[in-house]
Amino acid sequence: MFQGSLVALITPMREDGALDPEALARFVEWQIAEGTHGLVPVGTTGESPTLSHEEHKRVVEITIEVARRRVPVIAGAGSNSTAEAIDLARHARQAGADAALVVTPYYNKPTQEGLFLHYTAIADAVDLPLIIYNIPGRSVIDMSVATMARLARHRNIVGVKDATANLARPLHTARECGDDFCQLSGEDHTALAFLAAGGAGCISVTGNVAPRLCSLMHRAWQDGRIAEAMGIQRRLLPLHDAMFAETSPGPVKYAASLLGHTSADCRLPLAPCSDATRAQVRAAMVGTELLN
């Protein structure tokens, strides 16, 4: 259903912190021209926690309008309020998204039964393919494979963005959820290893600034050119490291600013990147030949 290099889009903003719709439209167009296989707006990388609902929905709309069905759009629609997640998923469907990405509820710490009921309620309310976003490092809870298998029986729940970095997980998930359940990595460092374990692609942070390289890596893998794919992954490694030198999306927004796509800063409470992180990001960009 979804495969290859999908990008967890940053949300371009002006120097005063306001949403920059024109820069977003240009950025989406650039991503498609560079070979990105799919777009994922308003996830964590898109600063969804600090966007207003109006801004959130506008980012989704702009992304879909500019994409014009050339690549799929998986709209972020997660919340720790089930009613709010349903509203965002309904908007994604009305706007024309191909799917919605729904993060496990953060802070509330629901049980596995709570997770099952949360996702079932959204899937029952909105006729749109849903991708579960399992990221224990940010949401504290970890959806079990058993719970995911229960949810995979729902016709609208079609896959997972797995940010556990546990490379045994996709093997167990495929066994319990079936080969048709779409598994996407949420962790750049292990993207190729995830593919080898049965994944279909990666929702990437690094792809914001190296979309062509990320796309070429996945294409090489799909074509069976394994050594070439591994070579690109090794080339990207310092950039992956730099993108997570501080809390994301701080470093990737700074990297994008070096390419002229947006301002560098995130909205509070994320602080501007330190001088040391900026130096690491710049060095990685130069080393990857994205900057002179």
Give average pLDDT by consecutive 10-residue segment, the chain, 292 residues.
96 96 98 98 97 98 98 97 98 98 96 98 98 96 98 98 96 97 97 97 98 98 98 98 97 98 96 97 97 92
Its CATH architecture, for the domain 4-226, is Alpha-Beta Barrel (3.20)
The sheet carrying 182-185 orders its strands as 38-40, 4-8, 201-204, 182-185, 157-162, 130-134, 99-103, 74-76
DSSP state of 266: P
Q: What pLDDT sits at residue 1?
A: 80
Active site residue 161: yes
Catalytic residue among 57, 106, 119, 133: 133
Q: What pLDDT sits at residue 258?
A: 98
For the chain, the structural domain boundaries read: 4-226
Q: Tell me if 281 sits within 8 A of 254, measured CB to CB.
A: yes
Active site residue 133: yes
CB neighbours (10 Å) of residue 231? 13
- Alpha-carbon distance of 163 to 141, in angstroms, equals 12
Q: What pLDDT sits at residue 218?
A: 98
For 224-254, what is each residue's pLDDT tens digit? 999 999 999 999 999 999 999 999 999 999 9
Catalytic residue among 57, 119, 161, 254: 161
Distance of CA 110 to CAs 6, 49, 244, Å? 29, 19, 28
User: Which pTM was predicted?
Assistant: 0.97
Average pLDDT over all residues of the chain: 97
